Amino acid sequence: MGRIDERLAELSITLTDPPPPAGAYVPAIIDGDHVLTSGQLPFVDGQLPVTGQVGSEVDPEQAKEAARLCAINALAAIRAAIGDLDRVEQVVKVVGFVSSAPDFTGQPGVVNGASELLGEVFGAAGEHARSAVGVAALPLGTPVEVEVTVRTRD
């Protein structure tokens, strides 16, 4: 068991296989020494635990937990692409999309769910640039979608 697998176990996180794509894309792609994930939804056992817009149907704390689940699913996609999360040298960029009620402006707090998880897993290597974007709607009614880019080593 590698260092990152041990850390995930300490955090009581189990990575599953990434869900099959719902369209014409792959869950993650390797580009040189970077792995870029497709947008990850907060699926748990094939189901979305919550749906709706943040600030109306979904509480920001629920959405923050959903963003954490998105990051866990992104780690599963990255592991499937490279085989071993110990190869991750740096989390480079996180982009979070938040399905937001018209007056909701707390997108950064929601996407912190993903950012904080990556910091817990990778420590200093989990520090990253980030965008948190409010949108009118997301696929399947999910409140949040997260993309992650990492730099790897051999």
Domains in the chain (CATH in brackets) are 3-152 (3.30.1330.40)
H or E stretch including 147? strand 144-152
Residue with tokens 């499937």, as numbered in its chain: 80
Residue ranges of the chain with per-residue pLDDT less than 70:
none
> What percentage of the chain carries pLDDT values higher than 70?
100
Q: Please, which residues bridge with residue 94 across strands?
A: 130, 148
Q: One-letter amino acid identity for 35? A: V
0.95 exceeded by the pTM?
yes
pLDDT tens-digit readout, 15-51: 999 888 878 999 999 999 999 999 999 999 999 999 9
In the structure encoding, which two tokens stand for residue 55, read together? 């600030």
Mapped to the 3 state alphabet, what secondary structure does 91-133 carry? EEEEEEEEEECCCCCCHHHHHHHHHHHHHHHHHHHHCCEEEEE
Q: What is the dihedral of CA 43, 45, 51, 57, to 10 degrees?
A: -110
